[in-house]
Amino acid sequence: MSVATVREVTFGEELPVFDPDTSLDNVIRFTEAAGWRGPRFTDHEAARKEGLPGALVPGIMSQGFLCAMIHRWAPPAQIVEVDTVFRAPVIVDQTYHINGVVTDVDETEGRVEVDLTVTNEKGETRVFGTAKVKLPV
């Protein structure tokens, strides 16, 4: 069930897990739309020649996944601030899960804070972030 107002949000609530599309086709689509073309993002072999484990999901795409997850959970959410830390590479064509938990709720101002983590199938954190969100009161 999606969230419509801040009164429906509880401290400690976990957001529905979001598994982003990290397929090569989708990453190519993203890099073309964002104007961030480059073989390290769109070609596994070219990325390996640079010493990388495979083509990389751009950091700005991981950041975009976090926003999409919040909007899916709470469609009227206005994301006021999102801060993302890139701890380790996110590799194209691998499976990742994004988890989120509500860490602060201000019902009067309609403000919510959410901690977000992108983990791989081994449970290792690759990216984490914090978002400040405004919701209808």
Choice between 9 and 22, CB closer to other proteins: 22
The contact pattern for other proteins, residues 64-103, with x = CB under 8 A and - = no contact, is xxxxxx-xx--x--xxxxxxxxx-----------------
CB of residue 33 to other proteins, shortest distance in Å: 4
Task: Compute the C-alpha angle 28/30/35, nearest 5°.
Answer: 95
Pairing of strands 111-120, 125-134: antiparallel
CA 83 to chain centre: 11
Give the C-alpha separation, 20 to 38, whole Å: 21
List residues near other proteins by CB under 8 A. Answer: 18, 20-21, 26-27, 29-30, 32-36, 59-61, 63-69, 71-72, 75, 78-86
